[in-house]
């Protein structure tokens, strides 16, 4: 018998769907998967070279410290100062992670007691709810709606019973909608958190993708009192499989999470850390180069959405395009399945991100232009 903590926690949707796609491919379908946001571009050559050179050195293959090497913590702090205008003490306010996804779990296990609550966005990253449940907490969705520009209704939240709420997950630029933060919203979130003694967890991996103005929740004065921010090199530096992320916040909060983390892993391979530090030192030309490619791909995705009769916001940023489906479909699952089985193209139904995503689909920008052209051709033929 599995543990009770697994009750209500289902297998990750993409894990299930990938098995189905694999089965269809065995039948000769050759499915074009435009659903998962796994960057297909390589890291910068200097990053790969650093990994090779460092891995060839003797004495770097043993266990590492739980806090990461000083060079990586300093690189993260410098990165935050340069791009987010945030000052961090590399010794006490930066904690490297084996991917920011693990940080979500670490935070939930550190702060949630049985039955305590965490506010999670709907639509939002499914891992937030799973991690809360696995930690013994209760995930309480807060609705994000298109008519409110996918921003939380803090007035409505303030009217709720928040006595058991300890955490609130926020994520801007937002996944899956691509919504950027507006002026004053971060300040309002900080005020709300302080008034209700809630720890804000800002998940910030998409701030460089198709976005010229990266922002951090920690830019707001006094934010460290109520904020932990997660970041990652997966999307911004094409290093998803390398599993390199970070958590930053006040010394007290970082030490609290470290107490849990130090019991769960034995540190990150040192050459990986040195290569990550090299990646963090890259200049604006790196981000411009990958965004030029993503911009071309996004134009192809717009063509797909136009064929499908979907509506979408041109100002969204990040690694995906979010679009509203035509009214004649009962939900996005129906459209997704129609395209999967009729055109051999997989698009993500927005309902996997929460109830507010039921009438939306999400298309990933990961894949070369030829794949998008091929998808356009298949979908066009199936819609004749």
Give pLDDT tens digits for 105-134. 999 999 999 999 999 999 999 999 999 999
Tell me whether the omega of the peptide bond preceding residue 123 falls within 30 degrees of 0, making it cis: yes
CATH of the domain at 222: 3.40.640.10
User: 252: how many CB neighbours lie within 10 A of its CB?
Assistant: 11
- Taking CA 219 as the corner, what is the angle to CA 215 and CA 221, rounded to the nearest 5 degrees? 155
How far from 322 is each of 67, 155, 227, 271, 330, CA to CA, in Å? Answer: 37, 26, 28, 37, 18
Q: Is 356 left (phi over 0), alpha (psi -120 to 50) or beta?
A: alpha
Indicate the residue among 219, 245, 280 that finishes a domain: 280
Cβ atoms of 361 and 323 within 8 Å: the answer is: yes
Q: Domain range holding 338? A: 4-42+285-382
Q: Work out the pLDDT band at 5, boundaries 50, 70, 90.
A: confident
Indicate the residue among 251, 280, 309 that finishes a domain: 280
Give pLDDT tens digits for 186-243. 999 999 999 999 999 999 999 999 999 999 999 999 999 999 999 999 999 999 999 9
Taking every pair of Cα atoms in the chain, the longest distance, rounded to a whole number of angstroms, is 63
Closest C-alpha among 188, 126, 125 to residue 151:
188
DSSP annotation of 319 reads S
- pTM to 2 decimals? 0.94
DSSP annotation of 55 reads H
Give pLDDT tens digits for 279-334. 999 999 999 999 999 999 999 999 999 999 999 999 999 999 999 999 999 999 99
Closest C-alpha among 272, 216, 263 to residue 77:
216
- Give yes or no: residues 10 and 80 share one domain: no
CATH of the domain at 348: 3.90.1150.10
Give pLDDT tens digits for 257-288. 999 999 998 899 999 999 999 999 999 999 99
- Report the pLDDT value the prediction gives residue 7, as an integer from 0 to 100: 72
């Amino acid at each position: 018998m599995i543990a009770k903590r697994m009750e209500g926690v289902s297998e990750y949707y993409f894990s299930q769907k990938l098995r189905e796609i694999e089965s269809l491919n065995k039948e000769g379908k050759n499915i074009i998967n435009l659903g998962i946001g796994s960057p297909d571009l390589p890291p910068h050559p200097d990053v790969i070279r650093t990994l090779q050179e460092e891995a060839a050195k003797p004495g770097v293959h043993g266990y590492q410290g739980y806090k990461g090497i000083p060079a990586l913590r300093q690189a993260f702090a410098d990165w935050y100062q340069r791009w987010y205008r945030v000052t961090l003490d590399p010794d006490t306010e930066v904690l490297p992670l084996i991917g920011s996804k693990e940080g979500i779990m670490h935070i939930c296990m550190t702060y949630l007691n049985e039955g305590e609550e965490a506010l999670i966005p709907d639509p939002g990253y499914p891992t937030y709810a799973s991690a809360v449940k696995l930690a013994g907490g209760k995930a309480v969705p807060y609705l994000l709606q298109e008519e409110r520009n996918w921003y939380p209704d803090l007035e409505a939240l303030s009217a709720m019973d928040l006595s058991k709420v300890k955490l609130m997950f926020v994520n801007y630029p937002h996944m899956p909608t691509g919504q950027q933060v507006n002026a004053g919203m971060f300040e309002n979130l900080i005020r709300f958190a302080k008034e209700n003694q809630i720890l804000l967890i800002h998940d910030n991996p998409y701030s460089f993708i198709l976005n010229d103005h990266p922002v951090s929740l920690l830019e707001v004065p006094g934010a460290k009192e109520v904020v932990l921010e997660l970041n990652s090199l997966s999307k911004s530096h094409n290093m998803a499989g390398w599993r390199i992320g970070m958590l930053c916040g006040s010394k007290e909060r970082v030490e609290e999470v470290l107490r849990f983390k130090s019991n769960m892993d034995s540190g990150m391979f040192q050459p990986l850390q040195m290569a990550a530090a090299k990646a963090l030192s890259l200049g604006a030309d790196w981000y411009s180069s990958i965004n030029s490619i993503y911009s071309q791909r996004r134009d192809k995705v717009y063509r797909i959405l136009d064929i499908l009769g979907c509506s979408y916001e041109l100002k969204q940023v990040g690694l995906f395009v979010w679009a509203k489906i035509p009214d004649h479909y009962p939900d996005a699952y129906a459209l997704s399945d129609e395209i999967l089985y009729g055109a051999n193209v997989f698009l993500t139904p927005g309902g996997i991100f929460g109830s507010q995503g039921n009438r939306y689909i999400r298309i990933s920008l990961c894949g070369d232009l030829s794949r998008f052209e091929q998808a356009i051709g298949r979908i066009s033929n199936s819609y004749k």
